[in-house]
Amino acid sequence: MKRYSVAVLPGDGIGPEIMHEAMKVLKAVGKKAGVEFAATEALVGGSSIDAHGVPLTDEVLKLTLSSDAVMLGAVGGTKWEGLDYSIRPERALLALRKELGLFANVRPARIYKDLIDASTLKPEVIDGVDLVVIRELTGGLYFGTPKGVEKLPDGTERGVNTMVYTTPEIERIAKVGFEVARKRRKKLCSVDKANVLETTELWRKVVIKIGQDYPDVELSHMYVDNCAMQLVRNPKQFDVIVTENTFGDILSDEASMLTGSIGMLPSASLGATKNRAMYEPIHGSAPDIAGKGIANPIATILSVAMMLKYSFDMEDASVAIEAAVEKVLNKGYRTADIYQPGTKKASCSEMGEAVLKEL
Ligand code: NAD
């Protein structure tokens, strides 16, 4: 029997509730496919601060480094907001990204027919949207040097950030873009600002070069300002978008809001090798509804589907989970965040059970 180890870090707030449902789904899928998922649960974020004084212990870091994949719920909450930045719950995420070498953030945004009214855009614009934004996570404007604020002789100040990318950094994110596109509709749009920024001129050149190894994927290029506009004008044109860190930060949030429902969106952060990957919902720990049993577990369940696809090459099982979610929505089950009159209000665990039943 095949065996994969998964480090499970539920985190804070609604994290444990949603992760509980997602793990039930993972177990069921494993049973069906004859694969053993050895899940080891551990504390991260605020819950780790309460128990150990730090958001990520060396032991938990070791667990994540020795696992085949990491599943994360969410971290943070008002309780820990007064703490020094160096030991805030969110530091755990930054440390995990750094130590696992996660450089590609993969965020799908898909419209479910039954939730089309949740979007602020017209149904005819978003019906059928199914796209992925891949954001480079470790370079670009957020990390380039020189950076900082300096005092000038005349008493004014000067702020500097630098957009930096090397050829290997662009090559590896481009490869992720082409690989993800290959598993989908085989269209990759590389987003840059090559008409103004030399860094992204290099980006475009390198992406084109890598594209020669992927003749089956149709490559196009778009300037970031046009992409921001096209995402709301005609989002159906996109399959996979790959872009720089800052551009990706903005575009992935824009793309996710096409769907209008934060509790539905999964994400993956991928590293250089198959066993370096972390999967998590895009939403936070939702302290306002934690402990009430009303959180939407679908984003976390769909994160499991992404893990099966990207870490374990279990495409069929991944698609089965996505189809089960679609059926459950079609049958009218809704957690409070996506509830509309005329549908069936479900708790977090009822939603998890409903997905399980469809599997
Ligand atoms: P949030 O995503 O936690 O919540 C925003 C709103 O969406 C809230 O009204 C919440 O109730 C709702 N919501 C979020 N997920 C939901 C779900 N699954 N089901 C139903 N409703 C859901 O964002 P926030 O309020 O800005 O942040 C809360 C805490 O989470 C903060 O401490 C923040 O730092 C942290 N955070 C963590 C992550 C992460 O762990 N990756 C991401 C974002 C925010």
Active-site residue 249, yes or no?
A: yes
Examine the domain organization and report whether 133 and 169 are in the same domain: yes
pLDDT score, position 185? 97
Percent of the chain at pLDDT above 70?
Answer: 100
Residues 210 and 271 both lie in one domain: no
286 and 249 belong to one structural domain: no
Ligand 1 site-directed mutation target among 262, 279, 348, most atoms within 8 Å of CB: 262
Whole-number pLDDT of residue 106: 97
8 Å CB contact between 92 and 48: yes
Residue 115, domain member (yes or no)? no
Which of the residues 193, 279, 310, 333 is marked catalytic? Answer: 193
Q: How far apart are CA 270 and CA 303, in angstroms?
A: 13
Segment 235-253, tens digit of pLDDT:
999 999 999 999 999 999 8
Q: Tell me the per-residue pLDDT of 268-288, one tens digit each, with 9 for 90 and over.
A: 999 999 999 999 999 999 999
Long-range contacts of 287-292 (CB under 8 A, 24+ apart): 287/12, 287/13, 287/76, 287/77, 287/78, 289/14, 289/336, 290/12, 290/13, 290/14, 290/17, 290/77, 291/17
Identify the residue whose C-alpha is closest to ligand 1 atom 20. 295
Q: How many structural domains are present in the chain?
A: 2
Residue 259 pLDDT greater than 90, yes or no: no
| Residue with CA nearest ligand 1 atom 6 | 286
Same domain, 241 and 268: no
Are 132 and 8 contained in the same domain?
no
Q: Which of 259, 291, 324 is the last residue of a domain?
A: 259
> Final residue of a domain: which of 210, 239, 259?
259
Reply yes or no on whether 175 is catalytic: no
Alpha helices in the chain (DSSP H): 15-33, 46-52, 58-66, 91-100, 123-126, 167-182, 198-211, 224-233, 245-256, 298-310, 315-330, 348-358
Domain that residue 315 falls in: 1-110+262-359
Main-chain dihedrals φ then ψ at residue 107, nearest 5 degrees: -125, 105
In this structure, are 322 and 235 located in the same domain? no
125 with 221, same domain? yes
289 and 219 belong to one structural domain: no
Residue 74 has a pLDDT of: 97
Rounded to the nearest 10°, the torsion over CA 348, 270, 55, 256 is: -50
Say what the alpha-carbon torsion angle 244, 248, 251, 252 is, to the nearest 10 degrees.
Answer: 150
Identify whether 171 is part of a domain: yes
pLDDT 10s digits, 141-196: 988 999 999 999 999 999 999 999 999 999 999 999 999 999 899 999 999 999 99
d(CA 218, CA 181): 9
Q: Which of 50, 117, 225, 288 is catalytic?
A: 225
In angstroms, rounded to a whole number, what is the distance separating the alpha carbons of residues 12 and 345? 24
Whether residue 65 is found in the same domain as residue 143: no
What pLDDT score does 262 carry?
Answer: 87
Residues 95 and 139 occupy one common structural domain: no
What CATH number has the domain bearing residue 42?
3.40.718.10
Look at residue 285 and tell me if it is in a domain: yes
Out of 227, 259, 291, a domain closes at 259
